[in-house]
């Protein structure tokens, strides 16, 4: 790590805004700075925080709605490299929409996790950014009636890696089982490239994908409901790889 990077990281730590986690493999490179966004959906906070403390090669700041949207502004965005969404927030005004759209289109990495698929139901561009949408209620989509999406907690989900050549799945077992929550009847845009799938009857088939939005790399991982999912080693690998890839690493 360069002297400048060390000084910058130290200043942030003294300010109490970052929690460091630097891998031995990445000790000569500055850590990837991650903004983790929560709010609008309950979760077990301590195990979730530990997930990021144990993610190698990153420092992170966790922000919660309604304050989180202030971090989408260009000046605030200089403090991080990747946004991780673990929210399911609905309220967003035109200014915040413009800030977030510009943030991602200009190249800021985005990792979308689990229930954020149900966020911003009344903002169509959000679906285009993350590549899909969980329908909180039945709706008309271009003249077709779509039912509300479904979920089932506490199941053992068999996951298959669809694209074994992609950097996000590097080192991940071709098949693994995770104790998690399944989603069904949600939408995946046709230009989202599948990474993970499952044959579980309560789930839609594609449960992880990558895409681009403007200059940004975007990854969505459907898993991540609770502590058993957070501690799954394959899920940890996927999250680490997704952060690195969306940050611009190979």
The confidence score (pLDDT) of residue 18 equals 41
Nearest to 229 by CA among 215, 239, 219, 220: 239
Q: What angle do CA 101, 107, 111 make, to 5 degrees?
A: 80
pLDDT, tens digit (0-9, with 9 covering 90-100), for 46-78:
999 999 999 999 999 999 999 999 999 999 999
Contact 97, 125 (CB under 8 A): yes
Label each residue of 48-62 as H, E or C: HHHHHHCCCCEEEEE
When pLDDT is cut at 50, 70 and 90, the band that residue 28 belongs to is: low
Measured CA to CA, the distance from residue 46 to residue 24 in angstroms comes to 24
Per the prediction, the chain carries an average pLDDT of: 91
Which residue is it, tokens 């919660």?
64
When pLDDT is cut at 50, 70 and 90, the band that residue 242 belongs to is: very high
pLDDT, tens digit (0-9, with 9 covering 90-100), for 87-97:
999 999 999 99
The tally of domains found in the chain comes to 1
Distances (CA, A) of 167 to 80, 199, 217: 21, 23, 12
Which CATH number covers residue 214? 3.40.50.880
Q: Is the pLDDT of residue 15 over 90?
A: no
Q: Provide the whole-model pTM.
A: 0.89
Measured CA to CA, the distance from residue 164 to residue 174 in angstroms comes to 7
pLDDT, tens digit (0-9, with 9 covering 90-100), for 109-154:
999 999 999 999 999 999 999 999 999 999 999 899 999 999 999 9
Distances (CA, A) of 1 to 20, 162, 180, 249: 14, 35, 37, 16
State which residues form the domain around 227.
3-246
First to last CA, the chain: 19
When pLDDT is cut at 50, 70 and 90, the band that residue 25 belongs to is: very low
């Amino acid at each position: 790590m360069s002297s400048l990077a060390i000084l910058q990281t130290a200043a942030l730590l003294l300010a109490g805004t970052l929690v460091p986690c630097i891998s031995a493999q990445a000790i000569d490179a500055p850590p990837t700075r991650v903004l983790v966004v929560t709010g609008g959906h309950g979760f077990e906070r301590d195990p979730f925080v530990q997930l990021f403390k144990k993610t190698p090669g990153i420092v992170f700041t966790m922000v919660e709605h309604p304050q989180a949207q202030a971090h989408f502004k260009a000046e605030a965005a200089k403090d991080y490299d990747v946004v991780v969404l673990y929210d399911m927030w609905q309220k967003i005004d035109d200014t915040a929409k413009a800030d977030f759209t510009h943030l991602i289109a200009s190249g800021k990495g985005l990792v979308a996790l689990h229930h954020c698929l149900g966020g911003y139901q009344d903002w169509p561009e959000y679906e285009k950014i993350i590549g899909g949408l969980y329908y909180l209620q039945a709706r008309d989509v271009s003249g077709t009636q779509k039912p509300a999406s479904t979920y089932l907690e506490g199941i053992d989900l068999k996951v298959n890696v669809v694209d074994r050549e992609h950097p996000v799945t590097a080192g991940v077992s071709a098949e693994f089982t995770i104790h998690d929550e399944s989603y069904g009847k949600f939408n995946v845009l046709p230009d989202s490239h599948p990474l993970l799938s499952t044959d579980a009857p309560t789930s839609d088939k594609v449960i992880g994908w990558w895409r681009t939005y403007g200059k940004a790399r975007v990854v969505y991982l459907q898993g991540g409901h609770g502590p058993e999912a957070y501690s799954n080693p394959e899920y940890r690998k996927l999250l680490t790889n997704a952060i690195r890839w969306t940050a611009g690493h190979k």
